[in-house]
Structure 1
């Protein structure tokens, strides 16, 4: 009987995880990890907030060319499964790819302020968008400049770094850190 109970509980956990990974829904029982929170104190994994509480988005040179990063230099990604400004990454997806959230108006650090925006996530948090795309971190990036999430196929679609023009940079990547000034980097969407 104990074994049957363990199997039923395990199956329910897998089903719940699969439901949270669905790229076609925006509802989830669990939200992103607290490390994705952006505040003026720049909490771990936060968005390098400004004194007004808004996450900072800026451009930085990398081996992929100029890419978007937060105020602390952490790489930002877009998810190809997202449609418009609506995030489809929730639950387990948001644990692996925490959204860049903000407590105020996002701040442009050398990028187009007109391309910055926000969207309300299914958990009620405010996520930063750029060029109409919700922005995310990759939990596998250990330090500023890492691009280990580049061209990763996870949770039903590909993940790419973004250029300051608001387009995905689709060239292969996954480097451990940024280096050099890079080239134009295969912009495309």
Structure 2
């Protein structure tokens, strides 16, 4: 009986933690916006299908721009907005373990590809501890927020894991 109660209590705690997100502001209103342009169809893995070919070709992850409530900002594949973290002033990734679960890195298997108003000269990569390549922009590693769907911007100017997270403009700066 006690075990059942403990399991129920633990389940409630897990449910509350999972459903909590940075999608509300201080007044409880949901943050979010929908981009007005479409992202390319490249998958997060960087693999795209070539018409008339049986085998996929490997290319870099495409980063593009779209309008949000914070102006034009960068988006990754699948219309997912990308973020930078104030705790990473250089190109070295510092978000690992539980941080990387909540904020998955934008990975690529080749040189990242610029689309829209993205400045190709600001795109780059950094090598993560596991050897994977993470996309950078203006020297900042890029991340998704794990609990956002396509077209959503819930976590701009939100503090988690010891620092603020920001969407990034085509100029390579945090959005205001």
TM-score, structure 2 as length reference: 0.68
Change (3 A) 1:37 1:62: closer
1:114 equivalent in structure 2: 121
1:148 to 2:158 alignment: no
* Residue of structure 1 aligned with 2:164, choices 158, 161, 173: 158
Where in structure 1 are there 5+ consecutive unaligned residues? Answer: 1-35, 43-49, 170-185
User: How many aligned positions are there?
Assistant: 127
1:96 equivalent in structure 2: 102
* Residue of structure 2 aligned with 1:124, choices 114, 120, 131: 131
- 8 Å contact from structure 1 (residues 102, 127) kept in 2: yes
Where in structure 2 are there 5+ consecutive unaligned residues? Answer: 1-42, 50-55
- 8 Å contact from structure 1 (residues 58, 109) kept in 2: yes
User: Which consecutive segments of 4 or more residues in structure 1 shift more than 4 A?
Assistant: none
Q: What SS class does the counterpart of residue 168 from structure 1 fall into? A: coil
Cα distance in 2 for partners of 1:104, 1:119 equals 12
Q: What SS class does the counterpart of residue 100 from structure 2 fall into? A: helix
Cα distance in 1 for partners of 2:48, 2:99 equals 25
Structure 1 residue 113 displacement after superposition = 0.5
TM-superposition CA deviations, 1:134-161 (whole Å, max 9, x none)? 000001212x221112111111100000
Task: Specify the structure having the higher radius of gyration (Cα).
Answer: 2
Cα distance in 2 for partners of 1:162, 1:72 equals 17
- 8 Å contact from structure 2 (residues 46, 59) kept in 1: yes
* Residue of structure 1 aligned with 2:79, choices 64, 73, 84: 73
Cα distance in 2 for partners of 1:99, 1:139 equals 10
Q: What SS class does the counterpart of residue 73 from structure 2 fall into? A: strand
2:143 equivalent in structure 1: 136
1:105 to 2:111 alignment: yes
1:39 to 2:46 alignment: yes
Cα distance in 2 for partners of 1:159, 1:137 equals 10
